[in-house]
Structure formats: structure tokens, C-alpha cells
Amino acid sequence: MLFEFSNIIIFLVIAVVFVAVTLLVGRFLRPNNPSAGKSAVYECGETPVGGGFSQFNMRFYLVAFVFVIFDVEIAFMYPVTVVFKELMEEGWGILALVEIALFILILMVGFVYAWNQGGLDWVKGISDEKAIDSSGKNLDIT
């Protein structure tokens, strides 16, 4: 039984040795000239301002999520549309069309729900009569 896995074990050993030797040779051959400029964060050639970690607005994630949903919709519908002519010839075309329409309808119901709940509004107002400041205290805005 161990003989059957010998090719895999030999391959893994060769891979680990190759990576270790490559890193070791690179460590000895490359120059080591550290400087502040080399240690700086590089982002599009601009000098960084502030800390590297910043909190993104959740609206960016919501827009990305809606995009991914509709992108996946296209990925699911494309194979059906490619073979739709053959499905029509075999008598399954109406079923495929109904399935696509139902799929789009379900996604559109979710999209309309998110839109009605204000999830797609970029600028949101304060909906309650009380607001909470950054320290966690309630502010009366009436």
C-alpha cells in the first residue's frame, strides 16, 4: 500500500527541497540594502497618508454584493441560452424559458426588496429620533 503512494511522496519531497534550495540560494545571492524608501508602502506611486488600515463604508460591500448576484445570474443563464435552440427542438424550450424567467423574478424580488428598504441609498438620513455619537452616548435630535 505504501508503494502506491511512493510517487506522491517522492514528488512532495522534491517540491519541498526545490523550494527550500531556491529560497536559500536567493538569500545568499540578492543584495541586502535596506532603506526607508524600500520599506515604505507602495500604492499606485502615491505617498501614503495615514494608517494602512482604514474602515470602509459598508455601502461599498452592498454594491459589490448586488453586482456579484447579477454577475452570477448571467453565469447561470449563459449555458441555457447557448443550448436554447437545441432545447426548443427537443421540446424542452418552454420549460427552460420558464426556469430562466422564474430565476430572474426571484432575483428581481430580492433587488426590489433591498431597494425599498433603502439598502441601495448611498446617502442615508437618520431614521430614528435619537442618534448615537461615536462615544456611544444617545443624542436627542428633536
Torsion-angle region of 121 (φ positive above 0: left; ψ -120 to 50: alpha; else: beta): beta
2-39 confidence digits (pLDDT tens) = 778 888 999 999 999 999 999 999 999 998 888 887 77
- Residue whose entry in the numeric block shows the C-alpha cell 432575483: 107
The residue among 48 and 89 whose pLDDT is bigger is 89
Model pLDDT, residue 133: 52
Task: Parse the chain into domains and list their residue ranges.
Answer: 58-116
Phi, psi of 130 (to 5 degrees): -120, 140
84-106, pLDDT tens digit by residue?
889 889 998 899 889 889 989 98
pLDDT for 129 beyond 50: no
Which pLDDT belongs to residue 128? Answer: 45
Query: What Cα–Cα distance (Å) separates residue 113 from each residue in 106, 120, 121?
Result: 11, 10, 13
Q: Rounded to whole angstroms, how far apart are CA atoms 61 and 41?
A: 24
